[in-house]
């Protein structure tokens, strides 16, 4: 049986094209390259064109800031209410849904200690705005499935907020240390939940091929999450996440991967 051809994005980055996966075309680096630690071709394109673009932007927008949000670039036909401005009632709806829906991040599991971990997530999101944007994005994604009659509205919010979250993460990205390891891990996990929901809810015209492309993105991201956890295990073990990580380690022995990586680095 002939395999249906995958619809490629002509504007995707070189890395995604070579791996035959759909690129989200996020700037300055696409989502998959960002979360899997790859050098995205968009980054070099941005650096090459930034010098020539700066003067033209200043002429066109003399009173605006020198940067353009990822939401403005990648999200067509957005609402008049900007997601980059101060909090609005749409944000409040997403936030209320976020804090009152206990099983939002459970993926169907019975998580007994959900509230303490969620409290840590909220506290970290105040310091790491990329985490807050992603949490609101996932809340919008969940509302899209709960209220199918308003799905397009909530999905647009989800895309806008997630795009902004990734952009903020790229802007603040630096070496993982004790001050940011918890926020980075929680951001990665929340983003992983979001991509998994996108894959499971996918109903595009390309059928199974489209679903598999979405699922591959999710698997790639989860591989990146595992690498983050292993590389920062010694930092995370001394953080507020120690209790939940100890439970995970008792089942999957992640600390063994960190010890193995540490020994390899010594030789």
Predicted confidence at residue 129, as pLDDT, reads: 94
Position 77 in a domain: no
Q: Tell me the pTM.
A: 0.63
Distance CA 156, CA 94 (A): 13
Regions in the chain scoring below 70 on pLDDT: 1-10, 20, 35-37, 45-87, 106-114, 247-249, 251-267
Same domain (yes/no): 197, 134: yes
Same domain (yes/no): 134, 238: yes
Position 4 in a domain: no
Q: What is the tens place of the pLDDT at every residue in 197-229?
A: 888 888 888 888 888 888 888 888 888 887 887
Position 80 in a domain: no
**DSSP result, the chain:** -PPPPP---TTS-HHHHHTT------SSS-HHHHHHT---HHHHHHHHHHHHHHHHHHHH-TTS-S---HHHHH-TT--SS-TTSS--HHHHHHHHHHHH-TTTTTTT---TTHHHHHHHHHHHHHH-HHHHHHHHHHHHHHHHHH-GGGHHHHHHHHHHHHHHHHHHHHHH-----TTTHHHHHHHHHHHHHHHHHHHHT---TTHHHHHHHHHHHHHHHHHHHHHHHHHTHHHHTTSTTHHHHHHHHHHH-HHHHHHHHHHHHH-
Q: Which domain holds residue 49?
A: 11-68
| CATH assignment of the domain containing 37 | 4.10.240
* Structural domain count of the chain: 2
Predicted confidence at residue 93, as pLDDT, reads: 95
Position 208 in a domain: yes
Predicted confidence at residue 214, as pLDDT, reads: 83
Same domain (yes/no): 129, 95: yes
Domain termination residue (choose one: 21, 36, 68): 68
């Amino acid at each position: 049986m002939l395999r249906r051809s995958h619809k490629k994005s002509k504007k995707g980055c070189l890395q995604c094209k070579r791996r035959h996966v759909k690129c989200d075309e996020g700037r300055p680096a696409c989502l998959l390259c960002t979360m899997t630690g790859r050098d995205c071709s968009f980054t070099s394109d941005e650096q090459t064109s930034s010098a020539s673009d700066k003067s033209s932007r200043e002429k066109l927008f003399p009173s605006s800031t020198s940067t353009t949000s990822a939401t403005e670039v990648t999200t067509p036909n957005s609402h008049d209410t900007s997601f980059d401005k101060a909090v609005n009632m749409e944000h409040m709806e997403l936030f209320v849904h976020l804090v009152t829906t206990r099983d939002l991040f459970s993926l169907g599991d019975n998580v007994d200690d959900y509230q303490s971990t969620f409290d840590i997530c909220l506290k970290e999101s105040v310091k790491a705005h990329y985490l807050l944007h992603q949490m609101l994005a996932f809340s919008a994604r969940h509302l899209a499935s709960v209220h199918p009659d308003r799905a397009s509205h909530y999905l647009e919010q989800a895309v806008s907020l997630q795009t902004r979250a990734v952009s903020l993460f790229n802007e603040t990205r630096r070496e993982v240390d004790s001050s940011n390891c918890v926020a980075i891990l929680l951001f990665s996990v929340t983003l992983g939940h979001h991509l998994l929901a996108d894959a499971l809810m996918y109903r595009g015209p390309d059928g199974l091929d489209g679903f598999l492309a979405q699922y591959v993105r999710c698997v790639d991201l989860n591989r990146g999450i595992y690498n983050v956890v292993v590389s920062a295990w010694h930092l995370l073990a001394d953080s507020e996440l120690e209790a939940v990580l100890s439970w995970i380690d008792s089942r999957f022995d992640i600390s063994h991967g960190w010890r193995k990586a540490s020994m390899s680095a010594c030789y």
